[in-house]
Structure 1
C-alpha cells in the first residue's frame, strides 16, 4: 500500500506556492497529493515510481486475463472451476 504523510497532502493554492519544493521532493521519491475541497485530485510522484505502477497494473491485467482464459478453458472441458481441488487444477495444467 502506498502511504502519503499528511503534510504531503496539500490544497491546490498551497501547492502553487510550494511547487518547487514539491517537485524536488517528488523527484527524490516522495509522494504528494494535491487536494481540492479536501479531496485528493492529483498525485505528484517520481517518474520511475509511476513507471513501476504502470508495470504492476499491466501485470495484474495480464494475470486476470490469464485466469479468465483458464477458467473458460475448464468450462469448455465441461468442468466447474469452482468445484475443482487444487491438485486437480495442477494435473490439468501439466497436461
Structure 2
C-alpha cells in the first residue's frame, strides 16, 4: 500500500495504491483478488498518521462497501473532526467505500 496525501485544513485528500502483487491477494480471492475491508480502514488510519494526526482507532462504524474493490489506485478523502474521521474511498468520481472511524 502506498499513500500520497495533501493536507487541506480539516480535510485530507490523497491516493492509495493497493498493490496487486501483495501476497494477501493469493488467498483473497484466488483468480479474483479483492481488497479486504480491513486494509481499506487501515489506509485511512495510515493517511491520518502520515500527516501527524494522532488517532487511535476504537470504533469503526457505518462502513459501507458499495462493491468489491480490486487492487489498484483509489482516491481517498478524510474529514478530520476531534472525535472521528469521516472517510470515503473511490475512483472515477464514484464513492466505493465510506464510513466513520471514532476515537
Shorter-chain TM-score category?
under 0.3
Q: Which has the higher helix share?
A: 1
Q: Which has the higher contact order (CA 8 A, sep 6+)?
A: 2
Q: Which has the higher strand share?
A: 2
TM-score under structure 1 length normalisation: 0.27
TM-score under structure 2 length normalisation: 0.25
